Structure 1
Amino acid sequence: MKVLLTALNSKFIHTNLAIRYIREYSRYLEGDDYSVVLREYTINNSIDYIMKDIVKMNVDMIVFSTYIWNIDDIKKICNNIKKVKPEIVICLGGPEVSYDYLNLIEEYNFADFILFGEGEVIYRDLILHFIENKDIKSVRGICYKKNGDVIANDPMPLIENLDDIPSPYRNIDVSEYENKIVYFESSRGCPFNCQFCLSSTLKGLRYFSIERIKSDLKSLIDARVSQIKFIDRTFNANKKIAIDIMKFLMENDNGKTSYHFEVTAHLLDDEMLMFLKDCKPGLFQFEIGVQSTNEQSLVAVGRTDDFDKLTKVVRRISSYKNIHQHLDLIAGLPFEDYDRFGLSFDDVYGLYPECLQLGFLKMIKGTGLRNRSDTFDYEYKDYPPYEILSNKFITYDEILKLKDIEEILEIYYNSGNFNVSIDYIIARYYDRPFVFYEQFSGFFDENGYFDISLGKNKLYEVLLDFTKKIISNREEFIVFKELVKFDYLSLGKQSTIPSFFDRIDVPDYKDKGHKFLQNEENQRKYVPKYFGTPAKNIVKHVHFEEFKYDVIGIKEKLNKLKLNRKLEKVYFDEICEIQTSVLFFYDIDKIFEKSETYRVKI
């Protein structure tokens, strides 16, 4: 019996951990009677391509790992395969089919079995049914049809000892994870009960042994994978285990692999924060779910966050300058209308995380919020990802406005391509960040920019066009334009600079820059990794530019104001016109900045 274990990932860089666990749990069965193929696709692959590839394998059974992002494509693939290869046994598992399996087994005529619950033991027992005639009635965790009747066997109990699952990282094939994110779990379950999250449907928290965790991590570290993303719902639920793991990762740093964790900020106490202070910049990334700062909304969805504590934690970590922080907001929660969401936005924006993700509530099958959606008059899409359309607190038109704001946030904040100019315009001309993004997204919409693809240069030009409506004073606009140019040049070495930026012409500027780089003292001070290197080899990593104002001074002032917890008004009178030469150095670890910048004299 030849079985295909497969998944459609949302991106090429993603990998599916579930099918790897399933393969390993049943690997001991492989032999003359049973073989397995593991294959991953993405939702960007065409249906025809995936079908052709699968059919060419000549398998007897296909097991699909289903999620909200891939179920629609999987349904099409399975339906077509069943028409041309009806003898192939088709099985579906995963969260998208585990909470409505009785209805889905009737709806999906192509499905022979639905596996609900943790899949490792269920899949193993189903294989034993086929190769050793194990009684199908004894295979727990499956739903199927027999003579037109729907049959659901008893649920499979959760695996008590997670170490019973063989490691999917043993004898690792490095090419399998090349240029991809490796997903890793040290635990299953979550101590919290958020009503919009699937983790709330399973009670309890189970851990792999610390010895197993370290052994698996060491295999991946030795393989020099790019990034390991922990999928634990609350990585720091157990402080002792979390510190033990992170200490191990710090001690075994290979100089390449970074680590992403979902953490709960209010659980990060002084001991853990002191520990984090010493980690290498860029080694760890934290994702912190804030969701809302409206206490009534948080209570309604079962969250117990303390925003004051969260604020102190996030700011303290920010002061270390070593951990990338990604903060999440969810639009569409109960008791949070459009205006109140704007306040949540301002609260979280004021923490200045490296990434602020504005998400939209998804009414996922099996969650408490979906089960009581009528209480709040929720209207949502009846197909994956089941995203909210409206509720009694927020209208669809307002959701659409937030969608536009989300796109502007991604382009102009999360990209890190406009750091100084966006900080400046909000600090100088706005009392609230939300109002800036609201107005800027409206400008985008009015001009049809959401409907077309804008290149890099056009994005900078659009920002300047918008701010012309905000900044009436000509000299003040020149200041802002210089800051936008500074952001543009901070990105990396540019072959050309757009004509909408003003340039200061200095005679023999190129030669002066070359002589500057020949000076050993300058090399040691500004580009130490190239000390003793000929200037002609350094110049490809740097750029010199003249500015009418001290743009670095403005940037430093803005950063200081952020450290002081608020971007207060920056008054134009404090900004003096002073021509400044700036050196941009691009060959750096781009963790928080895309270049290093210095005032120089050339």
Structure 2
Amino acid sequence: MRISLPTLHVRPSAQAVPLAAGNLKACLPEKQQPQTVLVNLFPEQSIEEMCATILAETPDLVAFSLYLWNRQQVSELCHLLRQKRPGIKLVAGGPEASADAVNVLKEAGLDGIICGEGEEVFSELVATMTKGNNCDHIPGFLSAAHSSATASAAVCSDLEKLPSPWLTGTLTLEPGCGVLWEVARGCRFNCAFCYDAKGHQGVRPLPVERLRSELQLFTEKQVGQVWILDSTFNAPAERGKQLLRMLLEYAPQIHYHLEAKADFLDSETAALLGQLSCSVQIGLQSAQADVLKPLHRNLDRKQMQRALQMLSEYSVTYGLDLIYGLPGDTHQGFCSSLDFALQLQPNQVDIFPLAVLPGTELHQKKSAFGLHADNRPPYLITANSSYSPEELEKTAKLATATDIFYNRGRAVGFFLQLCETFSLSPVELLQTFTDWLQEQQQLSPEQKTDAELWQSGDILCLQQQFIAQLLNKKKLAKLQPLAEDLLNYHFCCAELILAENCRPATKVPANKQLLKQKWLLNPAVKIQHFNYELEELEAFGGDPLPRLFRKLAESANYGIFLQQNGELIAEGLQDEFARLLLRADGNTQTADLLRGFPREEGVELLGFAVAQGILLSVN
């Protein structure tokens, strides 16, 4: 039997890993493996193109992983596949299929749905189909012939028996790639809006020996970053510490993305995180305890503040999640939550409208919770008894402005400083920016509502315009050069973290050869002009702007920002040397680069810049 396992990803990215499909293939008998292919699809492809890609492998069975973001396209794709190949067998699994099995069966015209964890069910399904036997009574499988029935969510009986898609080579690894890494299944919590527990509350860790072997493989294959698939890796706290110690022992060089619960963070966990290259995401959702309580969540604000303070003390990068439209919440209540979150200085705050997901308590009790939401994916809230459509729209604009100014604008380093300067709360500053953004005639409606359309450099210009206007309005125009410097400094530092390594040259040409070539400033290097001394900005930049203005004297200078051998470098530059580097555009003759320098000094500076990898030859 020829099998195709397509995955329609959200977008091309390091996270576009067909893990579910890889798990299914890894569990099939060895003789079936060569006849089973993984297919990666992306939303920008047409349905016809996706269909042709799948059918090119002439599959007898196609099994889709169905998620919130791909349900509609996969349904259309299934109908086209059926039209092109009437005898083909089509099944689906995944959270969307498990939570809404009967409706998915009907709308996609499938032969069946795999409910719950799919490895064992799929393996049995393939074996039964290969023998030509009836599949209707396989536990965890809901066939089209019995669509009026219900299928209990399957749970793998023994995680130790599941083969690893990484260790078996089912999923390949390339240097610098990203990995979705399962360390456990299930969730010990039962939040009313979440489907993570998937019908079987409780956490089942994967075998430690398997995890160690996978980490060793990731190190061997030079994996760049790993997303740890565990909705609360640190619950209970000791389990989280054991995992962190394993990461530090076997693969400390990889960057990790983790999800944590603040309630279980302690100083030992924070210290371990501080030794790793990692980012931690924490689901705050709301800072209103009365809103959270009916959703089976609690919040101790002081405990949350202490936990995040510990992360800050160990220089751990962390972000917070917020949801608007929760039952019992209002726009004002959300603003209070956003104020609380931003006062904690997260590196990022991700804001989502409530999705009333099938299979969750909120979906089952929509009427009781007073919820109105779309019946189609992504099931977004349209109103609730305390949150009108007009208020939701107002919140959505604030969320977009927050994403643009704070997240994509890399504002964490100076945001509260601006709030203090203008005597505004975080939300008041962002609401002012929201109103200003809506008034900008040169921006398209899409730019005002879609943060993903913005590049970081464009946002920097937007921030500078907004702050300059606000300073003028507050009669603080004298602070503008200083504010401009702070924005530029934090922007360059953020770019530096994401920049490629500036590699020193392996060999520097002789002086005569240096003078015959053309040079280009390494794209990984940033040269920035400042109105104040860079060293003083670094030393005192956290002070309130008025105090900083009184403390520092204007002194125009340049700074250079680069990453070299894992070290982040931000240093002041002599003006002449900075101008030399800025003239290196790949077309300028060397003689013009060295204009104004005595020959010997100019050649020495040029040689230094080439040796450090700051200038690259274009000849």
Give the TM-score category using the shorter length: 0.7 to 0.9
SS at match of 2:559: strand
Matched ranges for 1:191-590 at <5 A = 191-200=188-197, 201-253=199-251, 255=253, 257-277=254-274, 279-280=275-276, 283-321=277-315, 323-415=316-408, 417-418=410-411, 422-448=415-441, 449=443, 450-452=445-447, 458-472=458-472, 473=475, 474-487=477-490, 490=493, 540=522, 547-550=530-533, 553=536, 556-557=539-540, 559=542, 570-571=546-547, 574-588=550-564
Cα separation, partners in 2 of 1:339 and 1:254, compared to 1, 3 Å: closer
Greater Cα offset, 126-135 or 294-303 = 126-135
User: Distance in 2 between the 1:466 and 1:547 partners?
Assistant: 19
- Note if contact 2:280-2:319 (Cα within 8 Å) is conserved in structure 1: yes
RMSD between superposed Cα atoms in Å = 3.2
Q: Which amino acid aligns with 2:434?
A: S
User: Distance in 1 between the 2:331 and 2:151 partners?
Assistant: 45
Give the match for residue 600 of structure 2: none
TM-score by length of 2: 0.80
SS at match of 1:97: helix
User: Distance in 1 between the 2:491 and 2:106 partners?
Assistant: 56
Distance apart, 1:434 and its partner CA:
0.9
SS at match of 2:196: helix
SS at match of 1:182: strand
Cα separation, partners in 2 of 1:479 and 1:141, compared to 1, 3 Å: same
User: Distance in 1 between the 2:229 and 2:491 partners?
Assistant: 35
Q: Deviations over 1:188-216 (max 9, x none)?
A: 11111111110243212211121122122
Q: Deviations over 1:27-72 (max 9, x none)?
A: 34528xx931111212222212111111221111100000000011
Distance apart, 1:464 and its partner CA:
3.2
SS at match of 1:330: strand
Q: Which amino acid aligns with 2:391?
A: E
- Note if contact 2:136-2:142 (Cα within 8 Å) is conserved in structure 1: no
User: Distance in 2 between the 1:490 and 1:118 partners?
Assistant: 43
Distance apart, 1:462 and its partner CA:
2.9
Distance apart, 1:488 and its partner CA:
5.3
**Percent of aligned positions with the same letter in both sequences?**
22
Give the match for residue 67 of structure 1: 67
Greater Cα offset, 10-19 or 392-401 = 392-401
Cα separation, partners in 2 of 1:432 and 1:552, compared to 1, 3 Å: farther
Give the match for residue 97 of structure 1: 97
Q: Deviations over 1:548-589 (max 9, x none)?
A: 335654565454x6xxxxxx7855763543315342221258
User: Distance in 2 between the 1:396 and 1:298 partners?
Assistant: 21
Q: Deviations over 1:383-418 (max 9, x none)?
A: 111111221222222222332222332333223545
SS at match of 2:4: strand
Distance apart, 1:154 and its partner CA:
4.9
Does residue 27 in structure 1 map to residue 3 in structure 2?
no
User: Distance in 2 between the 1:103 and 1:136 partners?
Assistant: 20
User: Distance in 2 between the 1:191 and 1:327 partners?
Assistant: 20
Give the match for residue 143 of structure 1: 142
Distance apart, 1:276 and its partner CA:
3.4
Q: Deviations over 1:141-195 (max 9, x none)?
A: 122233xx63547536422321111111124378555664311111111111111
- Note if contact 1:421-1:480 (Cα within 8 Å) is conserved in structure 2: no
Cα separation, partners in 2 of 1:482 and 1:286, compared to 1, 3 Å: closer
- Note if contact 2:261-2:282 (Cα within 8 Å) is conserved in structure 1: yes
- Note if contact 2:125-2:138 (Cα within 8 Å) is conserved in structure 1: yes
Give the match for residue 597 of structure 1: 570
Cα separation, partners in 2 of 1:487 and 1:244, compared to 1, 3 Å: closer
Cα separation, partners in 2 of 1:167 and 1:54, compared to 1, 3 Å: same
Q: Which amino acid aligns with 1:574?
A: R
Cα separation, partners in 2 of 1:390 and 1:551, compared to 1, 3 Å: farther
TM-score by length of 1: 0.83
User: Distance in 2 between the 1:589 and 1:446 partners?
Assistant: 45
Cα separation, partners in 2 of 1:376 and 1:555, compared to 1, 3 Å: farther
- Note if contact 2:173-2:223 (Cα within 8 Å) is conserved in structure 1: no
Cα separation, partners in 2 of 1:488 and 1:193, compared to 1, 3 Å: closer
Greater Cα offset, 129-138 or 231-240 = 129-138
